[in-house]
Amino acid sequence: MIDEFHADDVRHRYVRLDDTRMHCATMGEGIPVLLIPGWPQTWYAWRHIMPVLAANGFEAIAVDPIGSGYSARPDAGYDTGAAASVLHRLMAALGHETYHVVGHDVGMWVAYALAMDHPATVRRLALTEAVIPGLAPAPTIFAPPDENIFLWHFMFNQVRDLPEFLTAGRERGYLEFIFDNWSHRRDRVAVDVYTRAYASPGGIRAGLAYYRAIPETVRQNAERSKRPLTMPVLAIGAEHATADAPMATLRPHAADLRGDIVAGCGHFIMEESPRDFADQLLPFLLEAPA
């Protein structure tokens, strides 16, 4: 069942998959492009990219992945295989048999799993601002401070119960620390939108669940990594965040790989440097046969 309402040029859709409600925002008509945000963001992270896609013959579909935004927050199902399966079913419910996929941060993990588990449906794959558990080497616990600012949360978020206890009533402060330290152009990031979303009931728990599922995701990726990605792949990093790490992570796993680093940008690339990001993404997607 699909419920839909319109706000300006964005169509908000709620799709019920069995007992799970999923939310996505769409814009435009044409070849579908699934846009998967990371943590701690929501579909709103794609608001600058959606009009560019819509103006160039694509249907932009920005999703709230399971556990985020307006989508359901179940107790389980946060390993990337399970999360990708939900998105695969969502796209089928929207009537799309094939589509492009773009993933950021944790959304990059899920996008990789979706492309590997359902290769016949993913036409082109664009990934940005993350490394993928099980493909990249595990970070050392003795990383220098300038690296650790991007790494400490991997272990903290996996600890059971303690993060919820320490952040209860302080969710905004916790998330603002993330946005303050991972962004380069902080004024361009919609921090208020995301802190409200993750400070709502179940928001922090569901967001942390992706990290607590990392051991299972690593196990799955050990199997996925035995075969390459078959579709063209674009990997984009940001100068003041992952830099060339997305390219380095994917180089052994993609037969057709290209990418670059966006200068003067932090981790939240679609908001901090939307024009530069779109300048790389759009030509890549337009290469695909209609």
- For the stretch 81-118, pLDDT in tens is 999 999 999 999 999 999 999 999 999 999 999 999 99
Residue 141: band (very low, low, confident or very high) from pLDDT cuts 50, 70, 90:
confident
Spell 193-229 as b/e; 16+ CB within 10 A means b.
Answer: bbbebbbeeebbbbbbbbbbbbeebbebbeebeeebb
What pLDDT is recorded for position 140? 85
199, 40 contact by CB (below 8 A): no
What pLDDT is recorded for position 105? 98
Segment 21-43 shows an average pLDDT of 98
What pLDDT is recorded for position 154? 95
What pLDDT is recorded for position 8? 63
Q: Is a pLDDT exceeding 60 seen at residue 5?
A: no
Q: Is a pLDDT exceeding 90 seen at residue 207?
A: yes
Segment 159-179 shows an average pLDDT of 96
Topology given in CATH for the domain delimited by 2-286: Rossmann fold (3.40.50)
What pLDDT is recorded for position 2? 47
Residue 1: band (very low, low, confident or very high) from pLDDT cuts 50, 70, 90:
very low
Segment 16-27 shows an average pLDDT of 96
- For the stretch 250-282, pLDDT in tens is 999 999 999 999 999 999 999 999 999 999 999
Residue extents of the structural domains in the chain: 2-286
Q: Return the minimum-mean-pLDDT range out of 43-47, 142-146, 211-215.
A: 142-146
Segment 220-234 shows an average pLDDT of 97
- Rounded CA separation 185/274 (Å): 12
What pLDDT is recorded for position 3? 53
136: left (phi over 0), alpha (psi -120 to 50) or beta: beta
